Every structure is written in C-alpha cells, then in structure tokens.
Amino acid sequence: MAGTIHQAGRKIWQTLSSTKTGVILLILTVVVSAGGTLILQRPVTDADEMQRAYSPQALRLLDTLGLTDVFHAWWFVMLLAAVSLSIVAASIQRFPNAWRYFARPYKSPDDNFRKALLFQQQIAVPDEEAGLSVAEKVFQTAGLKPERIVRQDSFSLFGERNRISEMAVYIVHASLLLIFLGGIVDAIYGWRGFVTLTRGEESSQVQAQNGSNHKLPFAIRCDGAGQENYADGTPKRWWSNLAVVERGRVVNTKEIVVNDPLVYRGIRFYQASYGRTGKVDKLLLTATSKTAKGESKEIALGLNETQSLDDDTTVRLAEFIPDYVVRDGQVYTRSEQLDNPAVHLMVSSKKSGKEVNVWMPALPGFEENAASRYSFEGKDVQMAYFTGLEVSHEPGQWAVWAGVILMSLGLGVVFYLVHMRVWAVPVHDARGQLFLWVGGTCNKNKDVFEQRFRKLVQEIESGIKVHSESGAQAPVTSMAGR
C-alpha cells in the first residue's frame, strides 16, 4: 500500500515538474486571460451594455461559467495555483544542478573535457609563464576576469563573464510566481464595484459586482464633473473632481480622467461614465412683480431651494418635470430628456401664511397662477449630471508589479547576457613541444561567440609573438586544431 502511494506521488511529481505540463498550463492561462479581455466583464461593463451585446441565454451561460468575471472565478484561481505548483516543482528538480554549476564553476579542464570542447586552439609558446601572462592580459582586456588555477604541479588560467546568465531562467520563474501570487490574492481578497455621484454628493457605499453594498473606510465626494467635446459634438473626455473625506475632513483630492484614477489606501477610483440624471441642478428665472412698479428680479433655484422675492414673499422650486404630460389630471414625465419641461413653484407669504402653486407652463384649467403676486419667466435650466466611478481594491497588485519588474530584468539577462567561459592550459605534444591550449564555450549565441573566440586567439598569438621577438626566443608557430 505504501509503495503504491509512493509510486503515485512520484508520477504526480514528475508530471508537475515536466516542461510539457508547465508549457500547457502557461498556454492555457494566456488563452483564458485573453478571453477575459475579449468577453465583456462585470462590473466594468454596465448591465444594459451586457444585455445589448449578448442574448439572455448566452449571458446566462457566460455568468454560470464565470466568464463575465474571469479574473475572480474560482477556476481561474485554481489554474494560477496549478501553474505556480508546476513552476515550483520544475525549479526544485532542476535547481540543485544549476546551482552547483553556478556556485562551483569548472575551472581546471581535464583531457576528456578539452577533447570534447567545440571551440579550441593550440598556440606554440616559448615557456608556460610567457603564455599564461599574455593570455591573462588578453582575458583581462576582454572582460573575462582571469583567475590563475594551481593544481599540484600544473598551472592554468580560467576566465568568464556573465555567470548570472545561468540563473536567468530562475529569475523569470520567480517573477511568474510573484505575478500569479498577486493574481490569486486579488481574486480571493480583491473586489470591484461601482458608484454614481452628483456634484456635492458623497458616499461611503459602493455597489459590488454581486449586487451587495461594500462599505468604504472613508467617504468619496464629487466636487464637480464635466465633459469636453470635439467640434462635432462627440465626447472627447470626461473628468471628475473627487475628494476623500475621512473623519470629517478632506484628506486627498484629485481631478481624475479615464485611465488616471484617484488611489487612496489601496482603493482605486476610475472615471467610467458621465451623464444626465434627469434632475434639475439650477433653474434660472426672472420674477416680475404684478404691482404698478413691475420690479423684476433674477433668481436661481435648486430643487426644494427657497429664495426671497421681497420682505414678505418667498419662492421655492417644488418640482421639475423634464418631459411632462398630463393624464387624468396628473402630471407625469415621459423621459429624462428636456423635451417638454415643466416647473412647479410654491410662492408663499410670510404675513398671511398662504401658499400659491405656480406652474410653468400653466396647466389647463389651473387658476392659482393668477393669485400669485409675481409672474415668472424661465431663462435657463442647468441639469444635474452624474459621474460614474469604477472602484477596485486589488491588494495583490504590489506582487504583480514586482513580478513584472523582476521579469523585465530576467528577460534582459536571458536575451542580452551570454555566459562565456575560456581556459588557457600549457600542454605538451607527443614530441614534447610546449603549447598553450586555449578553449572556450558559451550557453547561447554560438556563432557570435565563435567570432569573439577567434579574435581572442589572434590577440594571444600576437602577444606571444611580440614577447618572443623582444626576448629573442625561438619563432612561434600556430596550430589550428579544433
């Protein structure tokens, strides 16, 4: 029984740590993430747009499968966890050998290693010290960090550069783990919601994507919002002036536009929409006295706002109907558009306590307008507008951005740094003639390395030739063995 469990565990481990499994899971993650950008997502997309884009049956299926909120779906979290486990398993299985190769580089090549090396050259030298000294200077000039290796009675030279390139794959692995960790944290603990505000309104409640209300640890207030248009009247941009109110005082303010959110305590407020509420913000009127003097006064009224016309008379905006119609003696609005606006004013006398209803335009058979001491003329109406804010809390974003930065570094190392290793070893041939064996290898870009290796050999040959001539030594010959 124990043997069966052990064998099953080994198979699971081998499957998880295999490159094939990792590649399949990564491709699946990319495909699912791409689907999350192609399919409209809640709550970024409002319900009306979702219903216009998909049929009821398709929308119900997408909701059931979690495809309208991919990045918070339970199966997406499981997929990220599976990819992470595969990366960890593959790294654990391969890292020990890679670390030994990185921490203890092979510095003294034996005969078998030298014979198997792809890039090698033998150069005749007058003596060991002369050959090693010249090679050491050439290695140093090439940035290969030369190191003299002494083993019993033998001497050799080792040089390398960009050893960190051997660990680049694990840097990329670590960056992927950070990104997936951030995604998992966001999916479990993060949330998205929506809130609409009019000018001067503040709220500490956000409607989450599941329809519930999410309470903020502070209040968000709209101090103004607007829309800029192109010459043809199409919207150019929306903007909102937001203020964060905490414990009764403003602690942060910002004008936000699309893709430039306000961020406070890890919660982001994005500009998502802008539109007319159907309610009046300010109504501009001219009030004219019906007395002989006929004095006029310009007034601006908000809904349920009261203004004084004289020492005795006040007027209040009781009701505003943007598109009014009368049915069975009752006033209704057909739409939120200013197609047929109507105004209901209440004119009051302080002395008598009497209130008079004034309708603009006058309703059929309505006589109270005549009882008012003032006549009114509408000048302008300023409608109230709302700003729609998408609100998100993504506590795993620090890990995602750290992973992105680390991946940039890792990929830079992978693509631009080449681990080059070179050796210089004094050897004798069968006739006892002394040569300096020079060999090299790299972990990628072998064509480019071959050119650099040939140039390195030429510089060593030239240096030895100069040394020999200055020391009146025997002529130097070169052998091009591979």
Domain ranges of the chain: 2-101, 105-162+418-479, 187-277+387-406, 279-379
241 token code pair: 């002036």
- Name, in order, each residue with C-beta under 8 angstroms of 5's C-beta and a sequence gap of 6 or more: none
pLDDT at 471: 60
Annotate 195-226 with b (16+ C-beta within 10 A) or e (fewer). Answer: bbbebeeeebebbebeeeebebebbbbbbebe
Rounded Cα distance, 190 and 397, in Å: 10
pLDDT at 366: 53
436 token code pair: 């300096």
- Name, in order, each residue with C-beta under 8 angstroms of 313's C-beta and a sequence gap of 6 or more: 347, 348, 349, 350, 373, 374
Judged by DSSP in three states, 159 sits in: strand
pLDDT at 442: 93
Count of other CB atoms within 10 angstroms of residue 87: 22
**CA-wise closest residue to 220 among 194, 185, 239, 246:** 246
- Contact between 309 and 316 under an 8 Å Cβ cutoff? The reply is no
Which fold does the domain 105-162+418-479 belong to in CATH?
Answer: TATA-Binding Protein (3.30.310)
Rounded Cα distance, 186 and 178, in Å: 12
Q: Please give the angle made by the CA atoms of 313, 317 and 322, to the nearest 5 degrees.
A: 150
The DSSP secondary structure of 378-410, one letter per residue, reads EEEEEEEEEEEEEEEE-TTHHHHHHHHHHHHHH
- Contact between 243 and 223 under an 8 Å Cβ cutoff? The reply is yes
Q: What is the full per-residue pLDDT of the chain (482 aa) written as tens digits?
A: 566 776 777 888 888 888 899 899 999 999 999 988 888 887 667 677 888 888 889 988 988 888 888 888 889 999 999 999 999 998 988 888 888 888 888 898 888 999 999 999 999 998 888 899 999 999 999 999 999 998 877 789 999 999 999 999 999 999 999 999 999 998 888 888 889 999 889 999 998 876 778 899 999 999 988 888 888 878 888 899 999 999 999 999 999 998 899 999 999 999 988 888 878 888 888 888 887 677 888 999 988 999 998 888 999 999 888 888 888 777 788 887 778 888 889 999 888 888 888 888 755 555 557 778 888 888 888 888 899 999 999 999 999 999 999 999 999 999 899 999 999 999 988 888 999 999 999 999 999 999 999 999 999 999 998 887 776 444 433 333 33
- Contact between 66 and 73 under an 8 Å Cβ cutoff? The reply is yes
- Contact between 422 and 321 under an 8 Å Cβ cutoff? The reply is no
Q: Rounded to 5 degrees, what are φ and ψ at 189?
A: -105, -10
386 token code pair: 């709302």
